[in-house]
Amino acid sequence: MRSLRSGGRSPTGAALEPGPVANTTALIRSLDAAIVAAKPDSTVIMAWTVELRPLHLAQWSQDKPPPQAAMARAIAERLMDREAKLVFISGSSDRIAGFVYDLRRRGDADRIASELLVALRQPFDIDGQIVHFDAKIGTAMVDGDNAEDGEVLDASQLALDAADHSTRHRSFSPRLRQERVSQDELRGDLEAAVRAKSLTLRYQPIVDVEDNQLTGIETFVGWSDQSRGAIEPSVFLPMIECTDLIYDLGEFVLARSYETVSDWVDRGLLQPTTLWINVTPTEILRSEFRSQVRSVVDPSSGVSLGIGLRDGPALGEKQLTERLRELAHDDVRTAVDEFGGNFSVAGGPESFPADTVRLEQRLVRALDDSVDNKLTIQLINDFAARRGISVVASGIETTSQLNAIRDIGIRLVKGFHVSPPMEADQFAESLSTHRWSIEQQ
């Protein structure tokens, strides 16, 4: 490995200089050279693929995108500061691939992957503007004897695709190849179900604990496949959130649920209320979204519309805030979901047009065991009250949680202790019997 450490040439004659390379072909050539050089002493090589998403780009617009060349330079400099044995691509793509050579043990790979993530998630100063990246990484290892260059790069990409937003890092294992086949089949069936509008909608009441009045209804999407049975939304929704199918699904949810709830009001089963649907920033930023809402919502129906957005760094983007303000002019309400987690739009609520926050369910569920959680919720409620923002306690599952929320002074609740999400016919029946009434718990 002397030639690699010195930045010289491998036995194949290919240069192995640490740092960025021009393209994928150059990367594979360098990786092939590293694998050949590693064979004599079984040195470990870690291939990696990082997915990057720039956040907080309020200073740039679609007409003036962030400078990709400057971003690439900043990324390259940051990575080289963290690890001197990197060979990688740093271009305009949202994915960066590369490898680290000359590792002496496999355990070093986890450490380096963590260091890369830490480095990439620190703020970047790009052309005088501060930019944050959301990053996750997939890794795969080879000791020179058990893989080819293309295979190990592909393996790191498979691991990246399997990484979620909580762990941020996934190492390759052989079962991921079979999982990809299964995932591709599942995705194909899901696409067919979305296009056929055969997904089911479930409705869950939001109730005022002081008078047991239903103040809103939240819509959830469900999918039951004939061969697989019920599939959790946490499994199938991420599959389409990054595709154009999310628009088809969003249009279906809005139109079908609004029609259903409006019918309940028209039949006298329900007093005028707010229908809440969950959307992604991508949907809101789509130019057709506002006109789509206007074509569905009927101000005379007694049903107003609210949209729920998961709390996260994307809520800090200026363009999204502007779109939400436009929707507010149409009397569309906005709620921030999972409020109170690691990131919170609470840093700028005066400018963010939300009239409701829904507590992170983890905070509510830990009320029985954590005094700190109760204090956190109390602070959030006090903060919201000063700004005229409603607070909804989501995920109420026990009487003790309900009582604790009442003691804090939060009136709006939802969760299985009040009522589980129900399909339309069952929910309509519950409206006539008030099965969701807290007094009957």
Task: Report pLDDT digits (tens) over 297-348.
Answer: 999 999 999 999 875 556 667 788 889 999 999 999 999 888 876 445 544 4
Instruction: Round to the nearest angstrom and report the end-to-end CA distance of the chain.
Output: 70
Cβ neighbourhood burial of 373 (10 Å; 0-12, 13-18, 19+): buried
Return the pLDDT at 93: 53
Residue 192 main-chain phi, psi, to 5 deg: -65, -40
∠ CA 402-408-409, nearest 5°, is 90
The answer to which of 35-44, 260-269, 340-349 has the lowest mean pLDDT is 340-349
* Bridge partners, residue 219, by sequence: 203
Return the pLDDT at 90: 66
| Residue type (1 letter), 377 | I
For residue 288, give every residue at least 6 positions away whose Cβ sits within 8 Å of its Cβ, in sequence order, or none: none
The answer to which of 66-75, 149-158, 210-219 has the lowest mean pLDDT is 66-75
| Beta strand residue intervals within 343-407, DSSP E | 356-359, 390-393
| Beta strand residue intervals within 344-437, DSSP E | 356-359, 390-393, 412-413, 422-423
Tally Cβ neighbours within 10 Å of residue 359.
27
Cα(359)–Cα(395) distance, rounded to whole angstroms?
9
Cα(55)–Cα(312) distance, rounded to whole angstroms?
10
For residue 137, give every residue at least 6 positions away whose Cβ sits within 8 Å of its Cβ, in sequence order, or none: 48, 49, 50, 51, 113, 116, 117, 160, 163, 168, 169, 170
C-beta contacts of 226-234 below 8 A and 24+ residues apart: 228/186, 231/186
Cα(152)–Cα(172) distance, rounded to whole angstroms?
9
Residue 19 main-chain phi, psi, to 5 deg: 120, -175
Cα(296)–Cα(318) distance, rounded to whole angstroms?
26
Return the pLDDT at 363: 85
Q: Which domains can be identified in the chain, with CATH numbers?
A: 2-173 (3.30.70.270), 185-440 (3.20.20.450)
Report yes or no: 66 and 317 within 8 Å, Cβ to Cβ.
no
The answer to which of 4-8, 37-41, 143-147, 247-251 has the lowest mean pLDDT is 4-8
Return the pLDDT at 61: 47
Q: Based on C-alpha coordinates, what's the Rg of the chain?
A: 25
The answer to which of 68-77, 85-94, 121-130 has the lowest mean pLDDT is 85-94
Residue closest to 271 by CA, chosen among 418, 433, 430, 431: 431
- Across the chain, how many H-helices and E-strands are there? 15, 17
Q: Which residue has better confidence, 409 or 98?
A: 409
Confidence of residue 1 (pLDDT cuts 50, 70, 90): very low
Q: How many CA atoms lie within 13 A of 297 on its CB side?
A: 22
Task: Report if pTM > 0.85.
Answer: no
Burial call 204-225: b when 16+ CB within 10 Å, e when fewer? bbbbebeeeebbbbbbbbebee
Return the pLDDT at 204: 95
For residue 378, give every residue at least 6 positions away whose Cβ sits within 8 Å of its Cβ, in sequence order, or none: 408
Confidence of residue 268 (pLDDT cuts 50, 70, 90): very high
Q: Which residue has better confidence, 311 or 245?
A: 245
Tokens of 217: 């209804």
Confidence of residue 438 (pLDDT cuts 50, 70, 90): low
Confidence of residue 248 (pLDDT cuts 50, 70, 90): very high
Report yes or no: 44 and 68 within 8 Å, Cβ to Cβ.
no
For residue 37, give every residue at least 6 positions away whose Cβ sits within 8 Å of its Cβ, in sequence order, or none: 1, 3, 4, 10, 11, 16, 43, 101, 144
The answer to which of 165-174, 269-278, 351-360, 417-426 has the lowest mean pLDDT is 165-174
Q: How many CA atoms lie within 13 A of 431 on its CB side?
A: 25
Cα(45)–Cα(48) distance, rounded to whole angstroms?
10
Q: Which residue has better confidence, 409 or 94?
A: 409
Task: Report pLDDT digits (tens) over 40-80.
Answer: 555 678 888 888 776 644 444 444 555 666 777 788 778 77
Task: Report pLDDT digits (tens) over 186-204.
Answer: 888 888 989 999 899 999 9
